[in-house]
Amino acid sequence: MFLILTIVLVALVFEFINGFHDTANAIATSVATKVLSPRQAVILSAVCNLLGALAGTAVATTIGKGLVDMNAVTPMTLLCALIGAIIWNLVTWWLGLPSSSSHALIGGLCGAALATAHGNWNVLRWAVHNPATHKLEGLWPKVVLPMILAPAFGIVVGFVVMAILLALFHSWRPNTINRVFRRCQFFSAAWMSFSHGTNDAQKTMGIIALTLFTATTQSPAFDELPGWLGFLRSPEFKVYLWIKVACAITIAAGTAVGGWRIIRTLGKKMVKLQPIHGFAAQTTSAAIIQAASSMGIPLSTTHIMSTAIMGVGMTRRLNAVKWSVVERMVWAWVLTLPITAMASYGFFQLLRLVGLAG
Angle between helices 38-53 and 174-218 (to 10 degrees): 40
Quick count: other Cβ atoms within 10 Å of Cβ 224?
Answer: 8
Q: Which residues of the chain have pLDDT under 70?
A: 1, 21-26, 96-98, 219-233, 258-272, 318-326, 328-329, 332
Q: Which residues contact 152 (CB under 8 A, 6 or more apart)?
A: 307
Helix (H), strand (E) at residue 135: strand 135-137
The residue among 200, 180, 201 whose CA lies nearest residue 278 is 180
- How long is the chain? 358
- CA dist 228 → 5, 215, 225 (Å): 14, 17, 8
Predicted confidence at residue 271, as pLDDT, reads 55
Predicted confidence at residue 272, as pLDDT, reads 66
Predicted confidence at residue 105, as pLDDT, reads 92
Q: How far apart are CA 40 and CA 49, in angstroms?
A: 14
Q: How far apart are CA 307 and CA 148, in angstroms?
A: 12
Predicted confidence at residue 24, as pLDDT, reads 60
Radius of gyration of the chain (CA): 20
219 backbone dihedrals φ, ψ, rounded to 5°: -125, 110
Q: Where are the domains of the chain?
A: 2-120+145-348
Global pTM? 0.85
Predicted confidence at residue 23, as pLDDT, reads 63
Predicted confidence at residue 309, as pLDDT, reads 84
Predicted confidence at residue 217, as pLDDT, reads 75
